[in-house]
Structure 1
Amino acid sequence: ILMPRAVRAASHLKAAFSRPATARLAPRSSRPAVRALLVAFALLAAAPIALGQRAPTLRGGSWWERTDPGPRGSLPRSRFYTIRSDLPAEDTRRYANLLDTMYLEYTRLMKGLRPRGSAHLDVFMFATEQDYLDTLRTRFGASGTGSGGMFFVGPKGAGLAFFTQGLPSARVEHVIRHEGFHQIANIFFDHDLPPWANEGLAEYFGESVVVNGTVIEGQMTESTLAKVKSLIEQGRIVPFEDLLSRDLRAWNGAVSRGTADAQYAQSASMVHFLLWGEGGRLSDRFSAYLRNLNEGRDPVSSFRMAFGGTDDRALADFERRWREFVKQQSPGSVRAAMDRLTFLSEGLLRLRDRNVHPSSLEELKSALKKEGFTLAMGSHAGPVTLRAEDESLYSIPPDQIQDRRRAPEIEFVWKGPKPPRRATAKDDERDGGGSGAGGTEERSSDAAEKPAKPPPLPELSTRNLRPRNLKVSWKQGADGGWSAEVGLE
């Protein structure tokens, strides 16, 4: 939903981003294919989300009424966002910190561009899907049907909205990173950023990894990369000239026809190519392209000025180089490792609820397969369901920055009592027969007997992963239930 461009730009963004037109994206030619950026997390920690003089009163009525802080209160604020939320305070703070972290990444990309619209940033965090749908419809005249979150702009207001009910935290965070970019892009481009660049960049950030305030970019997921390679092999890619000039109506037409995942995946891949392909040499030109759009030039002229032409030969050469990049590209190891640890930790908690306690990675794999465990992840390039029978989920694919001599791997360390040992025929012979020749029985000692309470959860982490290893942190809530969070080791 788009509205006519705003005529007012906030003074703090003008001061921060009104730079000479020669400003450009940081060159990437001297950097590896995956860049780890340690943002000012200490600064974020020093200025956590303020809960205002008075917390919102969760009384009866609509969601809007229930989250109203009252005449003497104020809405929560993070460094850059005004927040309205009915989530637990800890969740509100966690998502606010993620938004602040990503804001620094978004605006780094916009360095040198002049804001063209209001820089006031509203975020609406909903606990339930129904409140999300009802509030968007009644308060803003927007439809959130079929979405987990969205950035909306309309005559009645604008904001980033999402809900958490029934969604894995990884999915919620992907929505925040993706839709959060749209919110910032609207400030600098209004409706002038072509859909391929708008959605491609949003999905680029959506697929990035954020752990402990560290943003690791260049992390294309296995599913998106596989989809792009399949599109190329099947001859189903959108012609570059068509994609570059495709307006919002044509883009939404593909969405209504059910072919949106192809254009999302291809656009995300093109952004990866422009930022990381050919040793990063194209990133300066991509920066110039964004600058031309920011200054009000049309998409075709902007591309021609930045990349040296949009005739058939130039576009054919550009497409050829992109295809070669995709052919050599590997999925991001950190993104893959994070997805695997999320899958395994959620699986462990499911098994724990059933009083099943694997003591090794092999036992965990076997138990998850027996359970038929699945986990929905998903992205704007299409839904993704991780399934226990997929053998690749128990190892980490190496990308270009990994050490081939010391491949990254998943590490499982059992913290409970020593599991009981299965007796063998040799044990029976030594013990004088036991249960009979060739028989087996469960041998256990007092130390190996089933404990009165569940054993501790195991340590689950990565080893040899560059640039940093990941680990799972287990947290127990007031109700005794457990949750998992993947972070840096």
Structure 2
Amino acid sequence: MIRRPLMLLALLLTGCAQTYVHTRHTDGVRSEPANRSWSMSEEGNWSSLQPWTFMGVEGTLVETPNWEIYTTIDNERFVNFLPDFYEAALEHYRTAFGELPAPPRPMETYLFGDRRQWKNKTRMMLPELASSFEGLGRGGFTADGVAVLYDIDNSMWDRDTLALSSHEGWHQYAQTTFQQQLPPWLDEGIATLMEGFRVRRGRITFSMDSNRERSYRLRIARRSNAMIPLRELLDGDPHVFLEQGKSDLLTYYAQVWALARFIAEGEDGRYLPALQNVLNLALDGDLYRRLLQSDAAARSSAPSKDTTGVVFIEAFFNENFDEFAAGFEAWVEQLASRRMWWR
């Protein structure tokens, strides 16, 4: 059952849903068609490519230990790059904030060569939501652990498409591995942190601060006095800001990127242990029981309705919300004054 898909215009459009149990494959190497080609990365990860078609369009199924990537992008260099990129992204998800486990099964991604194919797959997967998706800009969505994307770079160097893939990959990982969902602002914030990467001499390096789009949007919002108040940011989700317009939605994503960075590395890593605790509680399915048993929830007049906002911050990160907010404000000022030299 889909739970309020989340959407992002321009660069990304994402969706969050309940955990999907994907049982087509068990651990280890999958079936062996006669026309399948194999390779091994320097890190020791196997990958394979085999023909695949979608509604008569020829494509490729790319398989790795942790991913099944169905693509109709007709770019051999790009397709051959996908195994290393996706496995490196997963390694980043699992180590960026401490050690997290491998996903229980391979994660399924559809990466189409054009928007028309993406629309057709959307109608197949989410017929009740497809019409609302079709009017949106560049992007994709993730539902029940399955991501559906398309090439948003128009056959140029696919940096934005790869950033989108890594963003959605976090949602896939969280939906298939965690027993409980994170609050929207934290889940989306972490996903934006996963967008930043660079490739040098064939090696992929992910970096949370290397995100020109989010940094630029944060500076614009700051300079134009268009920042979303923190309480509103925590209590809302992308649907709320989508209804207000594309600019507000992009500001929302820039601010949750800054907020997730603040929690992960701000004030000399003050909140990182708390973030690690939150992730492990969500992994084990104990996050919201702990939240409702917290002193912060006891102080709230309606804890069941306010579990993802201020109460969540006070329960897990800082019982003094005003102090937390002041620290975040200083962090945003610091980020907004920086220049990004690479992404």
TM-score, normalising length: structure 1: 0.51
Residues 1:100 and 2:82 are matched in the alignment = no
Q: How many residues align?
A: 285
Q: Output the amino acid matched with 2:89.
A: M
- For the residue of structure 1 that corresponds to 2:194, the secondary structure is helix
Partner of 2:294: none
Partner in structure 2 of residue 192 of structure 1 = 181
Number of the residue aligned with 1:303 = 313
One-letter identity of the residue aligned with 1:124: Y
Residues 218 and 186 (structure 1 numbering): CA distance in 2 closer, same or farther, change over 3 Å? Answer: same
Aligned to 1:321: 327
Instruction: Look up the match of 1:217.
Output: 207
Cα offset, 1:102, TM superposition: 0.2
Q: How does 1:182-331 map to 2 (within 5 A)?
A: 182-189=171-178, 192-211=181-200, 212-232=202-222, 235-246=225-236, 248=237, 251-258=238-245, 259-294=248-283, 295-297=286-288, 298=291, 299=308, 302-309=312-319, 314-329=320-335, 330-331=338-339
Cα drift, residue 255 of structure 1: 0.9
| Pair 257,126 (structure 1): closer, same or farther in 2 beyond 3 Å | same
The structure, 1 or 2, with the larger RCO (C-alpha pairs under 8 Å, 6+ apart) is: 2
For the 8 Å contact 1:8–1:118, the answer to whether it is kept is no
Runs of 5+ unmatched residues, structure 1: 14-39, 70-74, 336-489
Q: Pick from 64, 85, 95: which aligns with 2:71?
A: 85
Match of 2:341 among 329, 333, 344: 333
Report whether the alignment pairs 1:125 with 2:133: no
The answer as to whether partners of 1:151 and 1:183 remain within 8 angstroms in 2 is: no
Moved more, 277-286 or 194-203: 277-286
SS at match of 1:334: coil
Select 2:151's aligned residue among 152, 163, 169: 163
- The CA RMSD measured in Å over matched residues stands at 3.4
Query: Is 2:42 the counterpart of 1:42?
Result: yes
* Offset, 1:214: 3.1
Q: 1:316 to 1:306 in 2, by over 3 A?
A: same
User: For residues 168-210 of structure 1, what are the alpha-carbon distances to aligned partners after superposition, in whole Å with 9 as ceiling and x for unaligned?
Assistant: 4122112112111111121234662111111111111113334
Tell me the equivalent position of 1:135: 121
Identity of aligned residues (%): 16
Aligned-partner residue type, residue 215 of structure 1: T
Gaps of 5+ in 2: 4-16, 29-39, 292-307
Q: Distance in 1 between matches of 2:91 and 2:249?
A: 29
Letter in 1 for 2:151: F
Return closer, same or farther for 1:222/1:6 CA change in 2, 3 Å cut-off: closer
CA distance in 2: counterparts of 1:50 and 1:118, whole angstroms: 20
Deviations 1:247-277 (A, max 9, x none): x4xx302112212111111110111112222
Residues 84 and 266 (structure 1), Cα distance of their counterparts in 2 relative to 1, 3 Å cut? same
- The Cα of 1:48 is off from its aligned counterpart by 4.9
Distance 1:112 1:189, change over 3 A: same
In 2, the alpha carbon distance for the partners of 1:109 and 1:11 equals 26
Q: Is the 8 A contact 2:18 2:175 kept in 1?
A: no
C-alpha distance 182-139 of structure 1, shift in aligned 2 (>3 A): closer
Q: 1:51 to 1:245 in 2, by over 3 A?
A: same
**Native 8 Å contact 2:49 2:63 kept in 1:** yes
C-alpha separation in 2, matches of 1:12 and 1:237: 46
Cα distance, 1:232–1:131 mapped onto 2, change above 3 Å: closer
* Aligned mates of 1:332, 1:194 — CA distance in 2: 29
| 2:263–2:275 CA contact under 8 A, matched in 1 | yes
Letter in 2 for 1:296: L
Alpha-carbon distance between aligned partners in 2 of 1:114 and 1:328, rounded to the nearest angstrom:
33
Q: What SS does the corresponding residue of 1:238 show, helix, strand or coil?
A: coil
Equivalent-residue separation in structure 1 for 2:282 and 2:271 (angstroms): 17
Q: 1:41 to 1:108 in 2, by over 3 A?
A: farther
Matched residues in 1 for 2:21 and 2:114: separation?
35
Kept after mapping to 2: 8 A contact 1:221/1:331: no
Secondary structure, aligned partner of 1:76: strand
Change (3 A) 1:94 1:255: same
After TM superposition, the score normalised by the length of structure 2 is 0.70
Quick one: distance in 2 between partners of 1:190 and 1:150? 23
Report the CA distance shift for 1:222/1:164 in structure 2 as closer, same or farther (over 3 A): closer
- Secondary structure of the 2:146 match is strand
Q: Is the 8 A contact 2:192 2:257 kept in 1?
A: yes
**Are the aligned partners of 2:179 and 2:282 in contact in 1 as well (CA < 8 Å)?**
no
> d(CA) in 1 for partners of 2:73 and 2:47?
14
Residues 35-91 of structure 1 show CA distances to partners (whole Å, capped at 9, x for unaligned) of xxxxx9621xx5453124xx33x6xxxx2454589xxxxx43123111222233432
CA distance in 2 between counterparts of 1:279 and 1:165 reads: 37
- Residue by residue over 1:387-408, the C-alpha shift from the partner in whole angstroms, topping out at 9 and shown as x without a partner, is xxxxxxxxxxxxxxxxxxxxxx
Deviation at 1:98, TM superposition (A): 1.1
Distance 1:48 1:271, change over 3 A: same
| Residue-by-residue CA offset, 1:344-372 (whole Å, 9 max, x unaligned) | xxxxxxxxxxxxxxxxxxxxxxxxxxxxx
Structure 1 CA distance for aligned equivalents of residues 109 and 213 of structure 2: 29
Residue 80 of structure 1 contacts residue 121 of structure 1 at CA under 8 Å; is this kept in 2? yes
Is the Cα contact below 8 Å between 1:241 and 1:315 reproduced in 2? no
Going by fraction, where is helix more abundant, 1 or 2?
2
Once the two structures are TM-superposed, the CA of residue 127 in structure 1 deviates from its matched residue by 1.6
